[in-house]
Structure formats: C-alpha cells, structure tokens
C-alpha cells in the first residue's frame, strides 16, 4: 500500500464497502457522540467521514487529535445506515472505521478557523494565507483560476498562436505607471526594471517575423491599490498579431473570451455580437469608459433645453465654452423621497447637489391653480372625469424652466408618469465620474420590470473604441498624451497635421459588467509617424530614441503592421468567482499598503547587500 493513501478523500463509495483503505488529510471537524468519535477528514479533493470507538486499537490516540492536524489513517470501509447517508457528499454513503493512525503534522491553536464561514480581518487572512487557502471557498477560487488559465491557453493554441516567454529583468520603460527598479551589482549605479507589460518585446517579436504570439505574462507596476487592482504584480493573457486590422483582433479574441466565460460562468451566458461604443459616447451615456451594460440607463445631453432658461445656474454655466448639462433618466424613480435621496448622494460625492424633475399624475392642488378654482372643486372634476388629470412635472427645476422645456426633456428621455430625471452640469470631465456612479445607484435602487429582476445574472461585453490620443492641460494649455502613445492614429500622418485634440487612435478596451478586462491597440509601426506623434506632445526625436530605442531601431528594418491586446486574468477570474475584491482570487496577494504580511515584505536590506550593490539608503524626511 502507498505510504500515505490508497484513495483520496473524495473517491470512496458503496463499491468499496469491506475494503481496507489508507487516507491522509486534515481533520476538518470532530464530533464526539457518547464515546464514538466521528471525524470529517479533508484533503484537496473532498471529505470522508471516519469513525473510531473504544474497540479501535488507536482510540486513545484519536481522542488527542484536534482540528487541522494532518493525519494518516488506515481502516475498513463500512456502509452508513440508510438514515445517516449524506447526499451532499460523493462519499456520503460510506464511512471508514479507523484501525491505525499516524500524526503527520500536529497543529497549534489556530489563528483563524478553516471550517465554517466565519469572517476574519483581511490582515489576519493574509498573514496566515496558507490557512486561509485551506477554506473551501478559497480552494474553489484557486482551482477556478487554474482552470481558466488552462482554458485560455487551449483556445489560443487552437487559433495557431505560439506561446513565447519574454524577459522579466529588462530596461525601465515609462508606460503609464511606476516601475519597480532592480539595482545592478555588475554595473554599479545602474538599474534594471521589472516589466510593466511585455509591450515592447511582443512588438519586437512581430518585427522578428513571428505572426501570432501569446503568453500568460506576469506584469509589475508600482501602483496605488484598488479593490480590482493589485498594487504590485498581476497576470495577463498577452497577445499580438501581424498584418491585422482592429476588427481582426476583435474577431480573434471574442470567441476566446466569450467561450471562457460560458465555460466557467455558472450558467450566466456572455452576450454575443459585442457592441462597439466610441469613447466619447461611452463617457456621455455611462459616465465611464468601462460601462456596465446590464444597466440599460443611458444619460443624454440636454443642454439645449436649459440655454436661456429660467434656471440661472445652468443657463449661465452654459455660456462658458466646453460645458454641458446631462440628464440621467430614472425609470420608476419619480418620488420626492427618492429624489431627495439622490440629491444627498450627490452631496456625499462632493457636489452641491443634483437637480431633478419627476413626473406624476396631476394633483387637485395643481388643477385648482390651473383653473382658478378651489381644491375641493378640482377634486370633484378629477373624480368625475370632467378634467383629464394627465401628468405634471414636479420639482424645483420644473418650476424654473417651465412646462414646454420640461415636456421636451421628458420626450427626449422617453419618460412617463412615475419616472424622474437627474441633472448635472459643467465641464463633463468634472462631473462624469459622479454621473456614472449616480446612474449605477439609480438602477440598483429603483424597481425593476420582471424581465430585469435577474439583471446581475449575465456578462455583458462591449468594445470601447476611438480613444483620443491627446488632451490639453486646462491650466498650462500644454498638449500631452491622454491615452496610449504607441497607438496608430486614425488617418496616419495626415491626422497629426490637424488639431491634435481631434486625433483618435486605433485603441480599444473591452468592458464587462463595469470592469475593464482588455486593453489593446493597433500599433504605430512607422518611425516618421511615431516621431510626429511624440513631437505634438513635446518630445523630440532624440528623446524618443533615448526612451524607446529598441522599437525605433527595429521599425527601421521592415516592420509589419501589427496589433494586439491583453486580458487581465485576475480581474476575469474575480468576475467569474463572484468576488468584489481581486485579492480573493490571487494565491498570495499583498495588502492595501503593498505589504506581504506573510513573508514580511518589503524588508530592510542587510548592509552587505547594499555594499555589493553600491547603494545607500537615505531616510525619508516626513
């Protein structure tokens, strides 16, 4: 018999009754039923119930066993009594009577309990991650992650992609985030960097004549942490193709990603025929470039209805260049109580408030005022049907801008009795984030039609396209890159000879349920176009050659048109696992302060290490 096990803790069933078996695993739960010990023995694969009574030669030893001890048992498989069968376990028809016991690893008192659903502070969970990972939910998350990576590889191989590995130690290359620098021992005073992404290397692979590349790539960025982003490192499915258009990238990646979400989405299907939404429209309609399309609310520009209106705040605001008033429709949100709640939401987000209009059936008060009669008379006319109640607009904004403008807004937004609209104004970039959050809050907190009740149970994808390459600093007037500077400008060199703020790039993101999952571009592979693109942002040719010399040099030797993208694996698994925090799907994550509490990193270097690297630590002045 094997030294540790003849079966896993998920294998035994009724066909094994009478067999002598050997199992190894962790003590999951202990129950003492009047001198008979029942122990749930757990390994990576499942749970088997073992029992021991005074007739067992190791009964006294079994009484000493505690939770999370790692043990090996030998015993005889017995059928459970019919009324004691556990249908929830694959091994629920049998149990093992223990004849022999070996303690493989005893456990001290646990800092967190593995069995059950107790909540523990994240600091405790990360410090004792090896215990946290024993929990059933975490085991499932990590196996899901492993299966997702395997699935992605199979799908890429099936499309004739080759998997190549690119360097981990490389040169510093500013790509939008801070590098992690690595000091060189052999070249004192000089530094390598951990790659923020394999960006330049995968482009060089295309120049080398390989047609399709991918890898499951580790990326390193010294970033501020968020719930959906690791502060140090992450993994992505990185790919690049030669002789392709933007649509070719979409057609290649859609079946890979949709198939993976269908496979592991627990019945929640991914939409097909993914829409392509311009960056400009996404910002207007959703207040973000990573919209959650499960929410059908679309914001609209209603500036024209407020120009020269009686609402002085918006009317005067619209006299300034680059300002707009946008409306957020709120189906079923037409009550003063809800409107007041959304106004408070805006104040909590740092705004003075949020204008609103809601539509209701006409009241006796409004009919009395309209006809110049008493309220009682108005009530009688409404009740008899002599006066058609219809609908009316309510709220401070409605009174200020009048019925004609209010009705025009209602018709533009397609709203009815019981609905509302909320309004924000100014320069869009100043309020789009809050507008986007308001749109989400409105959808989550208002009643749904029956067909929308299960709106969370799907994955809704959309390509965000036509990103602007440049932006202008409002204070200095300087033109700089707003998005990826290596994207091919739409229109090539001709586009760069006009207004830089009108230049769009062949750059794209894939949004899913409010998260950015993919980012990519068709690359600028023409040196003369690259130099011009950087020149508009204030970078001369010499500076470009200094920063990106390998690419510039390579592009002088017959570079093919090429493009690609990268899928964030951690974020995709987070969505598939129904988690709100990316650390739930990373085996050994850092905490919010970019600390590894388990390994005590970052740590102080030893003096001899610093001497070898010709470094000296200068204390920071607080």
Q: How confident is the model at residue 451 (pLDDT cuts 50, 70, 90)?
A: confident
Q: What is the CATH number of the domain that holds 612?
A: 3.30.930.10
CB-based contact 52:62 (threshold 8 Å): yes
Q: How confident is the model at residue 382 (pLDDT cuts 50, 70, 90)?
A: low
Using the Cα atoms of residue 601, residue 605, residue 609 and residue 611 in order, give the sign of their dihedral: positive
Strands 162-163 and 212-220, sheet pairing? parallel
Does residue 414 share a domain with residue 361? Answer: yes
Q: How confident is the model at residue 384 (pLDDT cuts 50, 70, 90)?
A: low
Cβ partners under 8 Å of residue 414, min gap 6: 329
**Residue 236 resides in a domain:** yes
Of the CA atoms within 13 Å of residue 592, those in its CB half-sphere come to 6
Residue 365 has φ and ψ, to the nearest 5°, of: -60, -45
129-147, pLDDT tens digit by residue?
999 999 999 999 999 999 9
Q: Would you say residue 118 has pLDDT above 90? A: no
Q: What is the pLDDT of residue 54?
A: 95
**Residue 397 resides in a domain:** yes
199-212, pLDDT tens digit by residue?
999 999 999 999 99
Tokens of 439: 């749109």
Tokens of 423: 């309004």
Q: What is the CATH number of the domain that holds 45?
A: 2.40.50.140
Q: What is the pLDDT of residue 364?
A: 65
Q: What is the pLDDT of residue 370?
A: 63
Residue 525 has φ and ψ, to the nearest 5°, of: -105, 5
Does residue 186 share a domain with residue 65? Answer: no
Does residue 344 share a domain with residue 310? Answer: yes
**Residue 554 resides in a domain:** no
Of the CA atoms within 13 Å of residue 267, those in its CB half-sphere come to 3
Q: Would you say residue 365 has pLDDT above 80? A: no
pLDDT top residue among 174 and 292? 292
Q: Read off the pTM.
A: 0.91
Does residue 310 share a domain with residue 419? Answer: yes
Q: Would you say residue 229 has pLDDT above 90? A: no
Cα gap 153→454, rounded to integer Å: 32
Number of domains observed in the structure of the chain = 3
**Residue 160 resides in a domain:** yes
Q: What is the pLDDT of residue 372?
A: 67
Q: Would you say residue 30 has pLDDT above 70? A: yes
Does residue 151 share a domain with residue 58? Answer: no
Looking at beta carbons, which pairs linking 552-559 to residues 24 or more positions away fall under 8 Å? 552/527, 554/203, 554/204, 554/207, 555/207, 555/525, 555/526, 555/527, 555/530, 556/527, 557/207, 558/207, 559/206, 559/207, 559/525, 559/526
Cα gap 595→185, rounded to integer Å: 25
390-406, pLDDT tens digit by residue?
788 888 899 899 989 99
Q: Would you say residue 380 has pLDDT above 80? A: no
Q: How confident is the model at residue 387 (pLDDT cuts 50, 70, 90)?
A: low
Does residue 178 share a domain with residue 311? Answer: no
Last residue of some domain: 452, 468, 491? 452
Mean pLDDT for 278-306 is 97
Residue 572 has φ and ψ, to the nearest 5°, of: -65, -45
Does residue 195 share a domain with residue 126? Answer: yes
Q: What is the pLDDT of residue 165?
A: 97
Q: What is the pLDDT of residue 53?
A: 94
Q: 426: alpha, beta or left, given left = phi > 0 and alpha = psi -120 to 50?
A: left
Judging by beta carbons within 10 Å of its beta carbon (0-12, 13-18, 19+), is residue 486 exposed, middle or buried? Answer: buried
Last residue of some domain: 105, 132, 162? 105
Does residue 154 share a domain with residue 101? Answer: no
Cα gap 425→354, rounded to integer Å: 9
**Residue 78 resides in a domain:** yes
Q: What is the pLDDT of residue 65?
A: 96
Does residue 448 share a domain with residue 334? Answer: yes
Using the Cα atoms of residue 120, residue 123, residue 124 and residue 127 in order, give the sign of their dihedral: positive
Q: What is the pLDDT of residue 513?
A: 97
Q: How confident is the model at residue 375 (pLDDT cuts 50, 70, 90)?
A: low
Mean pLDDT for 577-593 is 94
Q: How confident is the model at residue 367 (pLDDT cuts 50, 70, 90)?
A: low
**Residue 264 resides in a domain:** no
153-189, pLDDT tens digit by residue?
999 999 999 999 999 999 887 666 789 999 999 999 9
502-551, pLDDT tens digit by residue?
999 999 999 999 999 999 999 999 999 999 999 999 999 999 998 888 99
Does residue 366 share a domain with residue 324? Answer: yes
Q: What is the pLDDT of residue 358?
A: 94
Rounded to whole angstroms, what are the CA distances from 84 to 442, 450, 533?
50, 42, 74
Q: Would you say residue 496 has pLDDT above 80? A: yes
Alpha-carbon 507 to chain mean position: 20
Q: What is the CATH number of the domain that holds 398?
A: 3.30.1360.30
Does residue 425 share a domain with residue 324? Answer: yes
**Residue 154 resides in a domain:** yes
Does residue 428 share a domain with residue 371? Answer: yes
Q: How confident is the model at residue 619 (pLDDT cuts 50, 70, 90)?
A: confident
Cα gap 522→508, rounded to integer Å: 9
Mean pLDDT for 374-384 is 67
Q: Would you say residue 438 has pLDDT above 90? A: yes
Q: What is the pLDDT of residue 106?
A: 97
Last residue of some domain: 105, 138, 162? 105
Domain with 337 in it: 295-452
CA proximity to 345, closest of 443, 447, 435, 285: 435
Tokens of 11: 């294998």
**Residue 282 resides in a domain:** no
């Amino acid at each position: 018999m094997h030294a540790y096990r003849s079966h896993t803790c998920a294998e035994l069933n009724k066909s094994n009754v009478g067999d002598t078996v050997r199992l190894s695993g962790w003590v999951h739960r202990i129950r003492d039923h009047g001198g008979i010990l029942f122990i749930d023995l757990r390994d990576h694969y499942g749970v088997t119930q073992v029992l021991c009574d005074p007739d067992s030669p190791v009964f006294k030893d079994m009484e000493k066993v505690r939770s999370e001890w790692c043990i090996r048992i030998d015993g005889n498989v017995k059928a459970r009594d019919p009324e004691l069968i556990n249908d929830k376990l694959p091994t629920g028809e049998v149990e093992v009577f223990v004849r022999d016991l070996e303690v493989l690893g005893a456990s001290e008192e646990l800092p967190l309990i593995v069995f059950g659903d107790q909540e523990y502070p994240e600091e405790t969970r990360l410090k004792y991650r090896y215990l946290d990972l024993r929990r059933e939910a975490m085991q499932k998350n990590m196996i899901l992650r492993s299966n997702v990576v395997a699935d992605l590889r199979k799908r890429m191989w099936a499309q004739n992609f080759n998997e190549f590995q690119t360097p981990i130690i490389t040169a510093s290359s500013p790509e939008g985030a801070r590098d992690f620098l690595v000091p060189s021992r052999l070249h004192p005073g000089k530094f390598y960097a951990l790659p923020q992404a394999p960006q330049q290397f995968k482009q060089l692979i295309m120049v080398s004549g390989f047609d399709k590349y991918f890898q499951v790539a580790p990326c390193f960025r010294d970033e501020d942490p968020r719930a959906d982003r690791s502060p140090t490192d992450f993994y992505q499915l990185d790919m690049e193709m030669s002789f392709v258009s933007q649509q070719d990238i979409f057609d290649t990646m859609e079946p890979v990603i949709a198939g993976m979400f269908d496979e592991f989405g627990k019945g929640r299907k991914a939409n097909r025929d993914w829409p392509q939404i311009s960056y400009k429209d996404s910002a207007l309609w959703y207040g973000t470039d990573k919209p959650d399309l499960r929410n059908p609310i679309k914001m609209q520009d209603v500036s024209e209805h407020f120009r020269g209106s009686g609402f002085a705040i918006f009317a005067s605001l619209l006299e300034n260049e680059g300002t707009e008033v946008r409306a957020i429709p709120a189906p079923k949100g037409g009550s003063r109580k809800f409107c007041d709640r959304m106004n408070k939401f805006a104040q909590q987000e740092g705004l003075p408030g949020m204008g609103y209009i809601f539509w209701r059936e006409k009241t006796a008060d409004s009919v009395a005022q309209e006809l110049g009669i008493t309220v009682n008379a108005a009530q009688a006319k409404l009740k008899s049907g002599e006066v058609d109640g219809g609908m009316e607009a309510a709220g401070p904004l409605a009174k200020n801008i009048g019925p004609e403008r209010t009705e025009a807004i209602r018709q533009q937004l397609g709203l009815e009795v019981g609905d509302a609209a909320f309004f924000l104004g100014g320069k869009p970039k100043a309020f789009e984030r809050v507008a986007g959050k308001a749109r989400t809050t409105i959808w989550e907190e208002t009643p749904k039609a029956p067909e929308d009740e299960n709106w969370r149970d799907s994955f809704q994808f959309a390509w965000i396209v036509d990103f602007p390459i440049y932006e202008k600093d409002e204070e200095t007037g300087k033109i700089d890159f707003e998005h990826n500077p290596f994207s091919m400008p739409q229109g090539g060199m001709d586009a760069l000879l006009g207004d830089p703020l009108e230049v769009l790039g062949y750059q794209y993101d894939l949004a899913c349920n409010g998260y950015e999952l993919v980012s990519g571009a068709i690359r600028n592979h023409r040196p003369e176009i690259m130099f011009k693109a950087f020149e508009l942002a204030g970078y001369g040719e010499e500076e470009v050659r200094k920063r990106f010399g390998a690419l510039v040099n390579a592009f002088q030797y017959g570079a093919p048109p090429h493009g690609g993208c990268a899928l964030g694996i951690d974020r995709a698994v987070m969505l598939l696992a129904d988690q709100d925090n990316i650390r739930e799907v990373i085996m050994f994550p850092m905490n919010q302060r970019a600390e590894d509490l388990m390994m005590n990193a970052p740590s102080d270097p030893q003096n001899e290490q610093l001497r070898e690297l010709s470094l000296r630590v200068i204390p920071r002045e607080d």
